[in-house]
Chain A
Amino acid sequence: MSAAPKNLINERLLHMDKHLELRGVSKRFGTANVLSDVDLTIARGEFVCLLGPSGCGKTTLLRIISGFESASSGQLLLDGQEISHVAPHLRGFGMVFQSLALFPHMTVAENIAYGMKLKGVAAAQRASRVEELLHMVQLPAIADRPVSALSGGQRQRVAIARALAVPPKLFLLDEPLSALDAQLRDSMQIELRQLQQQFGVTTVVVTHDQHEAMMLSDRLVVLKGGRVQQCDTPSQVYRKPANAFVAEFLGAANLLPGMVRGPGVIEVLGSALALPTNLPAGSAVTLAVRSEDLRFEPTHADAPARPNSISGEIDFLRDLGAKSELILRCGDERLRCHGGDAQFQSARCGQRVNVLIDAERCSVFAA
Chain B
Amino acid sequence: MATATSITTPVASPAASPATPRAGRGSFGWVMGTLAGLGLLIAALPVVIILIMSFSGGTNLDFPPQSLSLRWYGAAFDVLFGDKSEGTMSAFSAMTSSLIVGLITMLASVSVCVPLSYAVVRSHGRWRHLAELLFTLPIVFPLVVLGVAYLLMTEALSRETGVDLGLLRLAIPHITLALPFVLRNCLSAMSGVGVDLEEAAMSLGASPLRAILHVVVPLMKPGIMAGLIFAFIISFNEFTVTFFMYTIDVRTLPIWMYSRTVSSLDPTTLAISTLIIALDVALIAWVDKLVAGKGSLF
A residues within 8 Å of B by Cβ? 66, 68, 87-90, 92-95, 97-99, 101-105, 114-115, 118-119, 162-163, 165-166, 172
Nearest A residue (CB) for B205: A118
Q: With A89-B205, A89-B206 given, is the CB distance from A103 to B197 under 8 Å?
A: yes
Q: Which of A102, A115, A119, A163 has the most CB of B within 10 A?
A: A115
Expressed in whole angstroms, the Cα–Cα distance for A80 and B194 within the complex equals 34
Whether B202 sits at the interface, judged by CB under 8 Å, is yes
Q: Which of B194, B200, B202 has the most CB of A within 10 A?
A: B200
Expressed in whole angstroms, the Cα–Cα distance for A119 and B206 within the complex equals 9
Whether B84 sits at the interface, judged by CB under 8 Å, is no
A234 to chain B, nearest CB (A): 27
Q: Which chain B residues lie closer than 8 Å to A68 at the CB level?
A: 199, 202
Q: Which chain A residues lie closer than 8 Å to B214 at the CB level?
A: 114
B204 to chain A, nearest CB (A): 4
Name 17 A/B residue pairs within 8 A (Cβ), A-sorted. Answer: A66-B203, A68-B202, A87-B202, A87-B207, A87-B208, A89-B203, A89-B205, A92-B205, A94-B204, A95-B200, A101-B200, A103-B201, A105-B218, A105-B219, A114-B201, A119-B205, A162-B200
Q: Which chain B residues lie closer than 8 Å to A114 at the CB level?
A: 201, 204, 206, 214
Q: Which chain B residues lie closer than 8 Å to A162 at the CB level?
A: 200, 204
Contact of B203 with A163 in the complex, beta carbons under 8 Å: yes
* Closest CB pairs A-B (n = 3): A115-B204, A101-B200, A95-B203
Expressed in whole angstroms, the Cα–Cα distance for A141 and B202 within the complex equals 27
Q: Which chain A residues lie closer than 8 Å to B203 at the CB level?
A: 66, 88-89, 93-95, 163, 172
Q: Which chain A residues lie closer than 8 Å to B200 at the CB level?
A: 95, 97, 101-103, 162
Whether B196 sits at the interface, judged by CB under 8 Å, is yes
Q: Which chain B residues lie closer than 8 Å to A97 at the CB level?
A: 196, 199-200
Whether B215 sits at the interface, judged by CB under 8 Å, is yes
Q: With A88-B199, A105-B218 given, is the CB distance from A99 to B206 under 8 Å?
A: no
- Size band of the interface chain B makes with A: 10 to 19
**New contact pairs (6) apart from A87-B202, A105-B218, CB-CB < 8 Å:** A66-B203, A88-B202, A103-B200, A103-B215, A105-B219, A114-B201
Q: Which chain A residues lie closer than 8 Å to B211 at the CB level?
A: 89
Expressed in whole angstroms, the Cα–Cα distance for A166 and B204 within the complex equals 8
Q: With A101-B194, A118-B210 given, is the CB distance from A89 to B202 under 8 Å?
A: yes
Expressed in whole angstroms, the Cα–Cα distance for A118 and B215 within the complex equals 13
Q: Which chain B residues lie closer than 8 Å to A92 at the CB level?
A: 205
Q: Which of A118, A119, A172 has the most CB of B within 10 A?
A: A118
Expressed in whole angstroms, the Cα–Cα distance for A163 and B205 within the complex equals 11
Expressed in whole angstroms, the Cα–Cα distance for A118 and B211 within the complex equals 11
Contact of A101 with B196 in the complex, beta carbons under 8 Å: yes
User: From residue 209 to 230 of chain B, which have CB atoms closer than 8 A to chain A?
Assistant: 210-211, 214-215, 218-219
Q: Which chain B residues lie closer than 8 Å to A101 at the CB level?
A: 194, 196-197, 199-200
Q: Which chain B residues lie closer than 8 Å to A99 at the CB level?
A: 194, 196
Nearest A residue (CB) for B211: A89
Expressed in whole angstroms, the Cα–Cα distance for A166 and B205 within the complex equals 10
Encode B78-108 as 1/0 by CB contact (under 8 A) with A: 0000000000000000000000000000000
Nearest A residue (CB) for B192: A104
Q: Which chain A residues lie closer than 8 Å to B204 at the CB level?
A: 89, 94, 114-115, 118, 162-163, 165-166
Q: Which chain B residues lie closer than 8 Å to A115 at the CB level?
A: 204-205
Q: Which chain A residues lie closer than 8 Å to B207 at the CB level?
A: 87, 89
Nearest B residue (CB) for A118: B205
User: From residue 163 to 205 of chain B, which have CB atoms closer than 8 A to chain A?
Assistant: 194, 196-197, 199-205
Contact of B202 with A104 in the complex, beta carbons under 8 Å: no
Q: Which chain A residues lie closer than 8 Å to B218 at the CB level?
A: 105
Expressed in whole angstroms, the Cα–Cα distance for A114 and B219 within the complex equals 16
Expressed in whole angstroms, the Cα–Cα distance for A97 and B207 within the complex equals 18
Expressed in whole angstroms, the Cα–Cα distance for A92 and B201 within the complex equals 12
B224 to chain A, nearest CB (A): 13
B286 to chain A, nearest CB (A): 19
A92 to chain B, nearest CB (A): 7
Q: Which chain B residues lie closer than 8 Å to A103 at the CB level?
A: 197, 200-201, 215
Q: Which chain A residues lie closer than 8 Å to B196 at the CB level?
A: 97-99, 101
A291 to chain B, nearest CB (A): 38
Nearest A residue (CB) for B197: A101
Nearest B residue (CB) for A114: B204
Q: Which chain A residues lie closer than 8 Å to B210 at the CB level?
A: 118
Expressed in whole angstroms, the Cα–Cα distance for A162 and B215 within the complex equals 15
Expressed in whole angstroms, the Cα–Cα distance for A101 and B203 within the complex equals 11
Q: Which chain B residues lie closer than 8 Å to A94 at the CB level?
A: 203-204
B215 to chain A, nearest CB (A): 6
Q: Which of A66, A68, A90, A101 has the most CB of B within 10 A?
A: A101
Expressed in whole angstroms, the Cα–Cα distance for A93 and B196 within the complex equals 15
Expressed in whole angstroms, the Cα–Cα distance for A88 and B204 within the complex equals 9
A78 to chain B, nearest CB (A): 15
Expressed in whole angstroms, the Cα–Cα distance for A346 and B208 within the complex equals 66
B101 to chain A, nearest CB (A): 33
Expressed in whole angstroms, the Cα–Cα distance for A68 and B197 within the complex equals 13
B295 to chain A, nearest CB (A): 16
Q: Which chain A residues lie closer than 8 Å to B199 at the CB level?
A: 66, 68, 88, 95, 97, 101
Q: Which chain A residues lie closer than 8 Å to B215 at the CB level?
A: 103, 105
Q: Which chain B residues lie closer than 8 Å to A165 at the CB level?
A: 204
B246 to chain A, nearest CB (A): 43
A30 to chain B, nearest CB (A): 14
B143 to chain A, nearest CB (A): 39
Contact of B206 with A118 in the complex, beta carbons under 8 Å: yes
